[in-house]
Amino acid sequence: MNERLGRQRMSDKPSRNEAEYFALREAELHRERHRETIQSHDDEERKTHFMKCPHCGADLTTVSVDGLTIDRCRECQGVYIEAKAAERMLKAKQEALHGMFKSMIRGVSSH
């Protein structure tokens, strides 16, 4: 055993290094709990936004149109697509793109 450590353990008072260690450890635990609380709050808030229109807050409905999966809002008529669907649309030929876009807004714009 290290002679210096042995002397510290024999003392009733914690050394300055021990006090600093525990203070730093306590501060780190406090920061960790704070991060967990914020993360938990963010997770709960995200759940309340799931499948809600980012424009008006109404429920979104997932539909498949010409092989594309899109989310539609019947309240404000917003249409939302994921990046993969957007990439497919960008790769489509002009005529096919026109058809996809018409199909996407069909049903929403006819209200």
Please report, as ranges, the residues that interact with Zn ion according to CB under 5 A. 53, 55-56, 58, 73, 75-76, 78
In whole angstroms, the minimum distance from the beta carbon of 80 to Zn ion comes to 9
In whole angstroms, the minimum distance from the beta carbon of 109 to Zn ion comes to 14
In the bound state with Zn ion, the residue whose beta carbon lies nearer, of 30 and 49, is 49
Structure-derived torsion over alpha carbons of residues 94, 95, 101, 107, reported in degrees to the nearest 10: 180
**Beta partners for residue 72, in sequence order:** 61, 79
In whole angstroms, the minimum distance from the beta carbon of 53 to Zn ion comes to 3
